[in-house]
């Protein structure tokens, strides 16, 4: 049990099971030369095990000053390879936290606050050029959405964004009894291996705006769900674009039926048609 009370506003559920902690640390595969950023060290159950390994530097980031104070007071924290950063992880630039370190040697680990899981994942995706590998514990339902396949209820915006940025794999599940306080949900540990180059030559923010629009009314066909996006972003009516022959029948196809690659081709096709309009 922790030596300071978890705060609900920080969405804190501290991992207490040492076996699970060891499995998570092993999955990040930190070796000599690696700099690891830990999101939310909490009571230090992962931190201590990371410092027992061969990594070159560990940067623990926590918005809760109590967690920082607790961790640095531990005997094992007296280590030249360790430093802490009192900050919101979403405001941290991994390149600044690990200056001069090649991208293939920056890794991220964390039992993250479940209330901001999506924000943290998109933060990771934005920094995919700096971070090579991440091992993240999250709510099982969100983990399923990260690796969701077309045609399933789990497939959506998060699955498309994940596929664009990384190769993701659910490693194992963690039961509520492994935490204090005990959460109401089962957790999952997910491995992200970030791509050295993007699978498509694409402006990711612009592409993700399209994806969000496509899934905004997921039970509707694309000619309906993309109508507002077409007018606002491309400046043309989707009916005009749909008249042209193309690889996708927007009046018969839903976003959930298309793979990430097909969604990309659909986006490019619409943008190209709008450019010719």
Binding-site annotation: residue ranges: 13, 15, 40, 62, 88, 111
**Contact between residue 58 and residue 47 where contact means Cβ atoms under 8 Å apart:** yes
Other CB atoms within 10 Å distance of the CB of residue 26: 13
d(CA 54, CA 42): 22
d(CA 152, CA 103): 34
Annotated binding residues for S-adenosyl-L-methionine: 13, 15, 40, 62, 88, 111
């Amino acid at each position: 049990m922790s030596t300071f009370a978890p705060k609900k506003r920080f969405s804190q559920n501290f991992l207490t099971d040492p076996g699970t902690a060891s499995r998570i640390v092993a999955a990040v595969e930190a070796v000599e030369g690696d700099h690891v950023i830990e999101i939310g060290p909490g009571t230090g159950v992962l931190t201590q095990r990371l410092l027992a390994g061969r990594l070159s530097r560990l940067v623990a980031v926590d918005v809760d000053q109590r967690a920082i104070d607790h961790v640095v007071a531990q005997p094992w924290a007296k280590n030249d390879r360790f430093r802490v950063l009192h900050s919101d992880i979403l405001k941290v630039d991994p390149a600044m936290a690990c200056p001069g370190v090649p991208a293939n040697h920056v890794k991220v680990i964390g039992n993250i606050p479940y209330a901001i899981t999506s924000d943290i994942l998109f933060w990771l995706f934005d920094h995919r050029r700096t971070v090579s590998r991440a091992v993240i514990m999250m709510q099982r339902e969100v983990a399923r959405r990260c690796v969701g396949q077309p045609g399933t209820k789990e497939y959506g915006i998060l699955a498309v964004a994940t596929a664009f940025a990384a190769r993701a794999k659910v490693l194992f599940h963690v039961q509520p009894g492994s935490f204090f306080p005990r959460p109401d949900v089962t957790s999952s540990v997910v491995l992200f291996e970030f791509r050295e180059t993007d699978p498509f030559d694409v402006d990711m923010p612009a592409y993700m705006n399209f994806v969000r629009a496509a899934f905004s009314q997921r039970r509707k066909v694309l000619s309906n769900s993309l109508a507002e996006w077409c007018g606002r972003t491309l400046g043309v009516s989707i009916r005009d674009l749909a008249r042209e022959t193309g690889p996708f029948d927007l009046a018969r196809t839903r976003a959930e039926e298309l793979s990430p690659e097909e969604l990309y081709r659909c986006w490019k096709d619409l943008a190209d048609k709008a450019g010719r309009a």
